[in-house]
């Protein structure tokens, strides 16, 4: 299947999972998973920034429409895309002629790299999202606990989904 079709289906499935299933899951009102960020994480390495940032914005706006949060998820998802570009440019060597790794998955990059990638990007996204949502120092302990627990829950779900759809490297 074409990469474009796979990513369109992934976008739709993740938005619907987030909006209709995960929106209603909250552990003691402290931990809410945001699995929709997996779409930005799994976009191919060759995705141009001119396409990456609008896709992240549309993804965030789609989630904002279901959560009734005017622009919070859109802003956090665009920040996620920015951090993704920086992280990939730092950690992935650019082979000029050999594009053997099309997208960042557990199967193609290995568990350690993917875990670090998912954890760092999730921490940035959630920290910005929860602080933008509260926008006050009065409830900093509650905000930090929500940020940390939601990040753990989200990274756990990202890793589980990564292992469910695990494909070995093609040699």
Domain presence at residue 171: no
Domain presence at residue 170: no
Query: pLDDT category, 97, cuts 50, 70, 90?
Result: very low
User: Please, which residues bridge with residue 27 across strands?
Assistant: 31
**Count of domains in the chain?**
1
pTM of this structure: 0.88
Write down the pLDDT at residue 135: 83
Domain presence at residue 100: no
Write down the pLDDT at residue 170: 55
Say if residue 98's pLDDT is above 80: no
Domain presence at residue 50: yes
Residue 163 tokens, joined? 């292992």
Say if residue 167's pLDDT is above 80: no
Domain presence at residue 37: yes
Could you read off the pLDDT of 23-49 as tens digits, one per residue?
A: 888 788 788 999 999 999 999 988 999
Domain presence at residue 51: yes
Domain presence at residue 145: yes
Domain enclosing residue 71, as ranges: 3-94+107-164
Say if residue 105's pLDDT is above 60: yes
Query: pLDDT category, 96, cuts 50, 70, 90?
Result: very low
Question: Exposed e or buried b for every residue in 44-81, given b needs 16+ CB within 10 A?
Answer: eeebeeeebbebbbebbebbbeeeebeebbbbbbbbbb
Query: pLDDT category, 2, cuts 50, 70, 90?
Result: confident
Domain presence at residue 30: yes
Please report, in angstroms and rounded to a whole number, the separation of the first and last CA atoms in the chain: 20
Query: pLDDT category, 168, cuts 50, 70, 90?
Result: low
Q: Which residue has better confidence, 83 or 30?
A: 83
């Amino acid at each position: 299947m074409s990469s474009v079709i796979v990513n369109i289906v992934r976008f739709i499935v993740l938005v619907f999972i987030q909006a209709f299933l995960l929106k209603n899951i909250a552990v003691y009102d402290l931990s809410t998973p945001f699995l929709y960020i997996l779409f930005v994480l799994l976009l191919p390495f060759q995705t141009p920034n001119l396409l990456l940032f609008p896709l992240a914005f549309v993804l965030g706006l789609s989630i904002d429409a279901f959560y009734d949060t005017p622009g919070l998820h859109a802003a956090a998802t665009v920040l996620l895309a920015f951090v993704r570009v920086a992280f990939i440019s730092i950690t992935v060597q650019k082979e000029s002629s050999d594009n053997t790794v099309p997208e960042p998955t557990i199967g193609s990059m290995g568990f350690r790299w993917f875990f670090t990638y998912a954890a760092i990007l999730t921490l940035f996204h959630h920290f910005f999202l929860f602080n933008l949502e509260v926008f006050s120092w009065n409830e900093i302990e509650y905000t930090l606990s929500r940020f940390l627990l939601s990040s753990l829950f989200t990274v756990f779900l990202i890793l589980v989904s990564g292992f469910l759809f695990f494909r070995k490297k093609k040699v």
